[in-house]
Amino acid sequence: MRVLVTGGRGTLGKLVVAALTGAGHDVGVGTRTPRDECDVRYDLDEPIDLDGFDVVVHLASDPMRPERDVTGARHLVEAALAAGVGHLAYVSIVGVDHHPYPYYRAKYAAEKVIEESGVPHTILRATQFHSLIPRFADAMGSFGFVAFPTGIEIQSIDERLVASRVVDLATRPPAGRVDDMGGPETLDLLEMARNHVHANGRRTPVIGVPIGGRVVRAFRDGIHHTSNRQGGTYREYLDDRPPTLPRIARGFRWAGMVLGLTVLVMLAAPAVFHSDFAAYGAFNRHFIRDTATFAAPMAAALWMAAARPRWRLPVAGLAVFQNGLHVINHLIDVGGTEPGWHGPVNLALLVAYEAWFVFLLRTTVRPETHPRVPAVTV
Ligand SMILES: NC(=O)c1ccc[n+]([C@@H]2O[C@H](COP(=O)([O-])OP(=O)(O)OC[C@H]3O[C@@H](n4cnc5c(N)ncnc54)[C@H](OP(=O)(O)O)[C@@H]3O)[C@@H](O)[C@H]2O)c1
């Protein structure tokens, strides 16, 4: 069967594409940025040609611009009618018919467009995925804190379960609106965020914001919950997956960034570097640039080792060795700077670097164990 999965690179899309491909179907991956030959350019804002597709699984969605989901549904049903597509499967969200949240209202409007189009279809409503709060928390965490409204519980579900249900439905005859599916328990957003943050060994503060309003009230009322409870718990899901960026990886990334910044100053302003950071003897622009050129690959290797666990041991070992020699060099000339306090300060900084690199090496050899995830409150 030839299937187009719109949003095929998204959280659910990737799982659905993998399962359909594994089952032997010919899958087109709908995305705004096609890269591979199985990719099909797809934009909610633009008409699409569905010639040759038997089934469309519609997962593309833009919560930031909800009206696009309605436009996208219109384009899709027009194309499906023109091409005689036999089945359009759409994934929606539990409670969208009663919820004031603009994104959910748009999902409901998209459902209506599909239902009233005459295209043979299946509509499955699911609750929020287990990955949703970790995704939000990671995005906010880069600003140094995570904040969610207080008093809201969601009934999150394992997206792998949703994906297998979507594949099952999409490969059967169209069934109209099918039973909603939701996770096994309802959990407080703040607890979910804290559990995710802790599971990744972070200390990012998770803050409850006591806001009100119609949308928040609807979430507090639990309009988005269902009595159909399925699949594994959020806690099991967190335990199952590797931490997104463990402490050790962040250590490498920061080391690469700090060294990289030093390299930038050396290359862009060697005279400033000499006078303000390291005035050992006469100023030699060429020497400073050479040193920066040697340090640059080390900064890049440290940065790249963050995402490449196999690089960490050689890179940390090299950093300890290279910086160790650097420390000895500065120890020899500690009194040779002008002004005199530069020498000891430089030495102290390099010793701090060395301690950092030794920590990275030690933690790479003996990986940290993650703190136990506190129990989820139900
Ligand atoms: N996440 C949840 O908790 C949850 C719960 C219940 C139901 N759902 C529904 O399940 C579906 C999939 O959700 P998801 O969380 O897997 O989504 P996701 O990870 O955010 O992926 C959505 C995909 O939509 C595509 N997209 C975004 N804007 C687009 C545009 N203007 N035109 C074309 N494509 C666009 C993106 O693909 P490219 O960047 O590759 O173009 C992206 O991969 C959605 O319909 C969602 O409403 C989600």
Structure tokens at 94: 């539990």
Query: Last residue of a domain, which of 199, 217, 240?
Result: 240
Its domain, for residue 6, covers 2-240
Q: How far apart are the first and last CA of the chain?
A: 43
C-alpha 245 to ligand 1 mean position (Å): 23
Q: What is the pLDDT of residues 122-168, one digit of tens each?
A: 999 999 999 999 999 988 876 778 999 999 999 999 999 999 999 99
Ligand 1 close to Cβ of residue 16 (< 6 A): no
Does the pLDDT of residue 201 top 80, yes or no?
A: no
Ligand 1 close to Cβ of residue 13 (< 6 A): yes
Residue 373 forms part of a structural domain: no
Does the pLDDT of residue 66 top 80, yes or no?
A: yes
C-alpha 7 to ligand 1 mean position (Å): 5
Is there a contact between 49 and 80 (Cβ–Cβ < 8 Å)?
no
Ligand 1 close to Cβ of residue 182 (< 6 A): no
212/324 same-domain check: no
Residue 143 forms part of a structural domain: yes
Rounded to an integer, the average pLDDT of 3-32 is 97
Ligand 1 close to Cβ of residue 60 (< 6 A): yes
Rounded to an integer, the average pLDDT of 212-221 is 96
37/132 same-domain check: yes
Q: Which of 102, 20, 116, 100 is nearest to 61 (CA)?
A: 102
The sign of the torsion formed by the CA atoms of 14, 20, 26, 28 equals: negative
pTM attached to this predicted model:
0.74
Ligand 1 close to Cβ of residue 91 (< 6 A): yes
Q: What pLDDT does 337 receive?
A: 87
Domain containing 149 — which CATH number? 3.40.50.720
* Cα→Cα distances 96→37, 91, 124, 152, Å: 36, 12, 12, 17
Q: What pLDDT does 213 receive?
A: 95
Q: What pLDDT does 364 receive?
A: 87
Residue 235 forms part of a structural domain: yes
Ligand 1 close to Cβ of residue 8 (< 6 A): no
Q: What pLDDT does 367 receive?
A: 61
Identify the band that residue 352 occupies on the pLDDT scale cut at 50, 70 and 90: very high
Ligand 1 close to Cβ of residue 113 (< 6 A): no
297/210 same-domain check: no
Does the pLDDT of residue 64 top 90, yes or no?
A: yes
What 3-state DSSP class applies to 221?
Answer: coil
Please report, rounded to a whole number, the percentage of residues in the chain having pLDDT higher than 90: 83
Structure tokens at 191: 């607890």
158/266 same-domain check: no
Rounded to an integer, the average pLDDT of 223-230 is 97
CA of 32, closest atom in ligand 1 = 41
230/328 same-domain check: no
Rounded to an integer, the average pLDDT of 310-328 is 95
Residue 60 forms part of a structural domain: yes
134/168 same-domain check: yes
Rounded to an integer, the average pLDDT of 309-328 is 94
Domains contained in the chain, number: 2
150/20 same-domain check: yes
Rounded to an integer, the average pLDDT of 284-294 is 93
Rounded to an integer, the average pLDDT of 319-323 is 97
305/255 same-domain check: yes
What 3-state DSSP class applies to 319?
Answer: helix
Query: Last residue of a domain, which of 240, 264, 295?
Result: 240
Rounded to an integer, the average pLDDT of 58-65 is 97
Q: What pLDDT does 376 receive?
A: 31
Q: Which of 12, 65, 160, 192 to mutate to test the pocket of ligand 1 (most atoms within 8 A of CB)?
A: 12
Identify the band that residue 315 occupies on the pLDDT scale cut at 50, 70 and 90: very high
206/294 same-domain check: no
185/236 same-domain check: yes
Highest mean pLDDT among 105-109, 143-147, 335-339: 105-109
34/114 same-domain check: yes
Q: What pLDDT does 187 receive?
A: 98
Average pLDDT, the chain: 92
Element (H, E) at 76: helix 67-83
Does the pLDDT of residue 377 top 50, yes or no?
A: no
C-alpha 223 to ligand 1 mean position (Å): 21
> Ligand 1: which residue has its CA nearest to atom 37?
7
Q: Hey, what long-range contacts does 370-373 have (CB within 8 A, 24 or more apart)?
A: 370/199, 370/200, 370/201, 370/243, 370/246, 371/198, 371/201, 373/195, 373/198, 373/199, 373/235, 373/238, 373/239
CA of 9, closest atom in ligand 1 = 43
Does the pLDDT of residue 369 top 50, yes or no?
A: no
Does the pLDDT of residue 233 top 90, yes or no?
A: yes
337/233 same-domain check: no
Is there a contact between 158 and 235 (Cβ–Cβ < 8 Å)?
no
Query: Last residue of a domain, which of 218, 240, 262?
Result: 240
More confident residue, 242 or 156: 156
C-alpha 314 to ligand 1 mean position (Å): 39
Q: What pLDDT does 244 receive?
A: 63
Identify the band that residue 368 occupies on the pLDDT scale cut at 50, 70 and 90: low
Identify the band that residue 198 occupies on the pLDDT scale cut at 50, 70 and 90: confident
Rounded to an integer, the average pLDDT of 348-373 is 80
Residue 370 forms part of a structural domain: no
Residue 292 forms part of a structural domain: yes
Does the pLDDT of residue 374 top 50, yes or no?
A: no
Ligand 1 close to Cβ of residue 128 (< 6 A): yes
